[in-house]
Amino acid sequence: MSVKTMQTQEVKELLEKVAGLNQAAGNDRIKTIVHRVMHDVFQIIEDLDITPEEFWSAVYYINDLGKNGEAALLAPGLGMDKYLDIRMDAEDAQAGLAGGTPRTIEGPLYVAGAPLCDGFARMDDGTQAGDIMLLTGVVTDEQGNPLAGATVDVWHADLKGAYSYFDQSQSEYNLRRRIKTDALGRYVAQSIIPSGYGCPPEGSTQALLNQLGRHGQRPAHIHFFISAPGHKHLTTQINLAGDEYTYDDFAFATRDELVVDARPVARSAAGERHGVTGPVT
Ligand code: MBD
Ligand code: FE
């Protein structure tokens, strides 16, 4: 049985007290946000006739989500990261910034402080026998002039779709490097072609996705931060063509301009490091 309480003076006053609107102390921006968020939560409870059982199951879900460290994994699954990108794209368009490699989401698995290399980096530690991948590129400014000394921060998953640091079985900073571009703005990385990522099957994110009838898979992809002094930071990825999930990414990060065909250069053997030692031109 549905009851209407949102417009009552009692609920209005409750919301004001909850958000500290009658308090001199505190932060006005936070007060405004909390007031609006709680107003909208109450409104949803009223509009959808949320039962107390449904409400408390949501509370315990959030508890588990935090315990599992998955809040920043659920966010892209619910399109939040992509939505923020859409907003930044619109902001750029309004500011007349266009062209270049498009942005896409960072995701929750970046680790700062990867080894810094000049021009070339070997990214894998040689313990997994995968298809060898050579990543090459040129960093340019908006006019297309090469940028020397730009930083290309690259990270990607291993053959299991797992990322070092989060996967404690991998060596420190495995498949994570920062590469300084050479005098011609070029960088080269040798690594292994990654596998796609899947949300932990027993985790909170996958549990909700199951309720939505959705999978929690990402296509094989490689993350990039590109930065250079005096230039806007770029967060992007390349998404590998031919993956079952290239155009069906649970995190909505694939963009046509970012899909590339990865051709294996050779097959690596576990425990072996191959003979590429300097920039490949
Ligand atoms: C990932 O590797 C990722 O890039 C994103 C966006 C979400 C989960 C795992
Ligand atoms: Fe990723």
Write the ipTM.
Answer: 0.97
- Nearest residue to 205 via CA among 78, 79, 85: 78
30 burial via Cβ count (<10 Å: 0-12, 13-18, 19+): exposed
Please, which pLDDT band fits residue 274 given cuts at 50, 70 and 90?
Answer: very low
For ligand 1, atom 6: residue with the closest CA: 107
CA of 197 to the centre of ligand 2 (A): 7
Claim to verify: residue 37 and residue 82 sit in the same structural domain: no
CA of 231 to the centre of ligand 2 (A): 24
User: What's residue 104's pLDDT?
Assistant: 98
Claim to verify: residue 44 and residue 81 sit in the same structural domain: no
User: What's residue 270's pLDDT?
Assistant: 65
- Which residues are registered as beta bridge partners of 138? 186
The reply to whether ligand 1 has any atom less than 6 angstroms from the CB of 219 is no
The reply to whether ligand 1 has any atom less than 6 angstroms from the CB of 82 is no
Claim to verify: residue 125 and residue 179 sit in the same structural domain: yes
Q: Is the pLDDT of residue 94 over 70?
A: yes
Claim to verify: residue 103 and residue 142 sit in the same structural domain: yes
Ligand 1 atom with minimal separation from the 163 CA: 2
The reply to whether ligand 1 has any atom less than 6 angstroms from the CB of 251 is yes
User: What's residue 1's pLDDT?
Assistant: 64
Ligand 1 atom with minimal separation from the 157 CA: 2
CA of 278 to the centre of ligand 1 (A): 30
Can you tell me whether residue 26 is helix, strand or coil?
Answer: coil
What's the mean pLDDT when you consider all of the chain?
94
Q: Is the pLDDT of residue 66 over 70?
A: yes
User: What's residue 99's pLDDT?
Assistant: 87
Mention every residue, 6+ apart, whose C-beta is less than 8 A from residue 241.
Answer: 259, 260, 261, 262
Longest dimension (CA), the chain: 75
* Cα(223)–Cα(99) distance, integer angstroms: 19
Domain annotation covers residue 67: no
User: What's residue 264's pLDDT?
Assistant: 74
The reply to whether ligand 1 has any atom less than 6 angstroms from the CB of 197 is yes
175-225 tens-digit pLDDT: 999 999 999 999 999 999 999 999 999 999 999 999 999 999 999 999 999
Claim to verify: residue 139 and residue 241 sit in the same structural domain: yes
The boundaries of the domain holding residue 43 are 9-50
Q: Averaged over 76-103, what is the pLDDT?
A: 96
141-167 tens-digit pLDDT: 989 999 999 999 999 999 999 999 999
Domain annotation covers residue 128: yes
The reply to whether ligand 1 has any atom less than 6 angstroms from the CB of 216 is no
User: What's residue 267's pLDDT?
Assistant: 74
Say which CATH number the domain at 244 has: 2.60.130.10
Claim to verify: residue 25 and residue 101 sit in the same structural domain: no
Domain annotation covers residue 113: yes
Claim to verify: residue 29 and residue 118 sit in the same structural domain: no
Query: Tokens for 211?
Result: 């309720």
